[in-house]
Chains A and B, each alone.
Chain A
Amino acid sequence: MGQITLENVTKSFGDTDVIPPLNLTIEDGEFCVFVGPSGCGKSTLLRLIAGLEDLTSGTIRIDDQDASQVPPAKRGLAMVFQSYALYPHMSVRKNIAFPMRMANIPQDEQNRRIEAAAKALNLTDYLDRRPGQLSGGQRQRVAIGRAIVREPAAFLFDEPLSNLDAALRVGMRLEISELHERLKTTMIYVTHDQVEAMTMADKIVVLRAGHIEQVGSPLELYRQPNNRFVAGFIGSPKMNFVTGAEAEKLGADSIGVRPEHIDIADDGPWRGTVGIAEHLGSDTFLHVHDTGLADTLTVRAKGEVGLRHGDPVTLAPQESQVHRFDAAGARLG
């Protein structure tokens, strides 16, 4: 079990309010991702759930038990830190065994769980090494191993992949998703990378300055962003925003169209000149200038599109995919 409920949770450091009153429920077995720009309070929120920071006010419930005053070790949660936080003078085996040793779990049970975790995480050959003798990805796996053996009610990850290179990140992303499929344990995952959020999450929580901007499944957030902030944050490349006459025509202060929802069409209403074209093979992203709508419009085109720098282009937004926002940035309709 691992249902986590936050009720009117707030956190201030001295005079600065980092988390204004916040309510959130994370269901048992859910993969929940906190995403938001740097400094928005993701880590703080995770540390509040872990018990590493004291609440300023509000309640945290774990499986309907008030856990607000429970010390971190007793909450039954396991955390994987950004820096991995492995114990440098202990072997991998001892690192993984540490939480079980602290919980006085019998030795043969410890060994059984270590073997199982090592096998699942491909660490069997490294059990007798020190963390200093491992690569970044292996250290990451040890940190996850140390979390798994505790058989926690929920896993907490704080940007676990941000120290890895791009290729390894993709691999570990899959491994963590697979782990979630296998264990079916609640996972809360903090990242500022929207690709990680989109690919891994059952539920995404978009945060800005401690506020929850929107909660929903990746596709809900993609299709129905509540406001301009979420619309701009989810999706890659970013959504194009257009203000002025074109928006007023649709009765909005600003409108947003994703790059993949703009077609290159000879009879389109928008014209411009192609700037940089980013060829990714499968797709080409065109940066279109001089449209009179926005500085740059990003447009997704086919991989083999024949347009070059300086070519004129006419564009047609897919009407059903245009998002309308009011002056405050909230979604219209």
Chain B
Amino acid sequence: MATQQSRSAARLMMAPAVVLLLGWMLIPLTMTLWFSFRRYLPLRGGDLGWTGFDNYVRFFTSSAFWPSVQTTLILVGGVLVITVVLGILLALLLDQPMWGQGAVRVLVIAPFFVMPTVSALVWKNMFMDPVNGLFSHLWRAVGAEPVAFLSDVPLGSLIVIISWQWLPFATLILLTAVQSLDNEQMEAAEMDGASVLSRFRHLVLPHLSRAITIVILIQTIFLLSIFAEIFVTTGGAFDTRTLTYLIYQRVLESQNVGLGSAGGVYAIILANIVAIFLMRIVGKNLDR
């Protein structure tokens, strides 16, 4: 958008979307801020007036706060690492000409169409169940003691479940990027004596960096607010209580809307810290 005219035309045309999005964002945000400064206990007297920063102090100093932040970061980080690494490998694999390519691609993308609640329940009951799960049968078949995944390695299991759901998204975006790689460049590198690994490192990876950035940013936004998977598997037990889940517990289980809202504001702050941090490391790829 080079000229003054095209710039103002662009602004005009974007205005409706911007106004709608701002309204969409600002109204809930304002309500959350409002409630976070009030003592609001729906089943124990309702709205009991202003309390200043009381809710914030209580949420912050509660023994559950820091562990929940830590859990959130581990969960998001773990899923990001797994989906990006496997996504790149899968994208490279799917880019190879092979028999039944179309069918394989549809299959790889399929998990994305399964609702989070359903997929988490399937994993919990059909794969990870210590008595009847497929894994326990597998373990017994090789003579090992079945593992109670969701209570012994709860966070790891959750990361696996969520990665399984998000892998198709990462693969899809990365696949389109892999396909746009210029073939002559690869051939030039081959003639220049670059091995498969150095071609990956010097050509494929830089070419994918922008797509990786997009995958990381979009996934982070959604992963920070993961809820259903935790709700139907561990219910927040065994150190799987993320910040989002903690807020849910404060509002619905403890019936303390004010405290939960304060938590919500902390979640916003955390999301922004993570976003700024990510933009710093990977965001420069977007400028090119």
Residue ranges of A at the interface with B (Cβ–Cβ < 8 Å): 50-52, 71-74, 77-79, 81-83, 85-90, 98-99, 102-103, 146, 150
23 A-B pairs within 8 Å (CB atoms) are namely A50-B191, A52-B191, A71-B190, A72-B187, A73-B191, A73-B192, A73-B193, A73-B194, A79-B188, A79-B191, A81-B187, A85-B182, A85-B185, A85-B187, A85-B188, A88-B185, A88-B207, A89-B207, A89-B209, A89-B288, A98-B192, A98-B194, A102-B193
B203 A87 Cβ-Cβ under 8 A:
yes
Q: Is B265 an interface residue (CB 8 A)?
A: no
Checking B189, B191, B288 against A87 with a beta-carbon cut-off of 8 angstroms, the contacting residue is B189
Interface contacts beyond A72-B191, A85-B185, A99-B192: sample of 9 additional A-B pairs, CB < 8 Å, sorted by A = A52-B191, A73-B193, A74-B193, A77-B191, A78-B191, A81-B188, A87-B203, A89-B207, A103-B193
Give Cα distance in the complex from A246 to B288, angstroms.
Answer: 67
Q: Is B206 an interface residue (CB 8 A)?
A: yes
For this complex, into which size category does the number of interface residues on chain B fall? Answer: 10 to 19
B182 A52 Cβ-Cβ under 8 A:
no
A73 B190 Cβ-Cβ under 8 A:
yes
- 7 smallest CB-CB distances across A and B, nearest first, come from A73-B193, A99-B192, A85-B188, A85-B184, A102-B193, A89-B206, A81-B184
Q: Is B198 an interface residue (CB 8 A)?
A: yes
Q: Is B11 an interface residue (CB 8 A)?
A: no
Q: Mark B196-238, 1 if CB is under 8 A from A, else 0.
A: 0010001100110100000000000000000000000000000
Chain A nearest Cβ from B203, distance in angstroms: 6
On chain A, the residues within 8 Å of B206 by CB distance are 89
On chain B, the residues within 8 Å of A89 by CB distance are 206-207, 209, 288
Residue ranges of B at the interface with A (Cβ–Cβ < 8 Å): 182, 184-185, 187-195, 198, 202-203, 206-207, 209, 288
A52 B190 Cβ-Cβ under 8 A:
yes
On chain B, the residues within 8 Å of A74 by CB distance are 193
| Given A87-B203, A89-B206: A102 and B192 interface contact (C-beta under 8 Å) | yes
On chain B, the residues within 8 Å of A52 by CB distance are 187, 190-191
Chain A nearest Cβ from B196, distance in angstroms: 11
On chain A, the residues within 8 Å of B189 by CB distance are 87, 98
B193 A99 Cβ-Cβ under 8 A:
yes
Give Cα distance in the complex from A146 to B192, angstroms.
Answer: 9
Chain A nearest Cβ from B174, distance in angstroms: 17
Q: Specify which of B189, B192, B193 lies most central, judged by the most chain A CB atoms within 10 Å of its CB.
A: B192
| Given A98-B202, A102-B198: A87 and B190 interface contact (C-beta under 8 Å) | no
Chain A residue at minimum C-beta to C-beta distance from B190: A72
A87 B193 Cβ-Cβ under 8 A:
no
Checking A51, A86, A88, A102 against B194 with a beta-carbon cut-off of 8 angstroms, the contacting residue is A102
On chain B, the residues within 8 Å of A146 by CB distance are 188, 192
On chain B, the residues within 8 Å of A88 by CB distance are 185, 207
Chain A residue at minimum C-beta to C-beta distance from B209: A89
Give Cα distance in the complex from A146 to B195, angstroms.
Answer: 17
B187 A87 Cβ-Cβ under 8 A:
no
B184 A87 Cβ-Cβ under 8 A:
no
Give Cα distance in the complex from A120 to B185, angstroms.
Answer: 24
Give Cα distance in the complex from A90 to B189, angstroms.
Answer: 13
Chain A nearest Cβ from B40, distance in angstroms: 53
Give Cα distance in the complex from A85 to B209, angstroms.
Answer: 19
On chain A, the residues within 8 Å of B198 by CB distance are 102
Give Cα distance in the complex from A99 to B195, angstroms.
Answer: 11
On chain B, the residues within 8 Å of A85 by CB distance are 182, 184-185, 187-188
Chain B residue at minimum C-beta to C-beta distance from A156: B191
B190 A150 Cβ-Cβ under 8 A:
no
On chain B, the residues within 8 Å of A90 by CB distance are 202
On chain B, the residues within 8 Å of A82 by CB distance are 184
Chain A residue at minimum C-beta to C-beta distance from B184: A85
Q: Specify which of B198, B202, B207 lies most central, judged by the most chain A CB atoms within 10 Å of its CB.
A: B202
Give Cα distance in the complex from A146 to B194, angstroms.
Answer: 14
Q: Specify which of B185, B191, B195, B206 lies most central, judged by the most chain A CB atoms within 10 Å of its CB.
A: B191
Give Cα distance in the complex from A99 to B191, angstroms.
Answer: 8
Chain B nearest Cβ from A159, distance in angstroms: 12
Give Cα distance in the complex from A199 to B194, angstroms.
Answer: 35
Give Cα distance in the complex from A83 to B206, angstroms.
Answer: 19
Give Cα distance in the complex from A86 to B184, angstroms.
Answer: 9
On chain B, the residues within 8 Å of A71 by CB distance are 190
Give Cα distance in the complex from A224 to B198, angstroms.
Answer: 50
On chain A, the residues within 8 Å of B188 by CB distance are 79, 81, 85, 87, 146
On chain A, the residues within 8 Å of B195 by CB distance are 102
Chain A nearest Cβ from B208, distance in angstroms: 11
Checking A77, A83, A98 against B182 with a beta-carbon cut-off of 8 angstroms, the contacting residue is A83
On chain A, the residues within 8 Å of B194 by CB distance are 73, 98, 102
Give Cα distance in the complex from A50 to B191, angstroms.
Answer: 8
Give Cα distance in the complex from A86 to B182, angstroms.
Answer: 10
Give Cα distance in the complex from A85 to B181, angstroms.
Answer: 11
Give Cα distance in the complex from A150 to B194, angstroms.
Answer: 13
On chain A, the residues within 8 Å of B191 by CB distance are 50-52, 72-73, 77-79
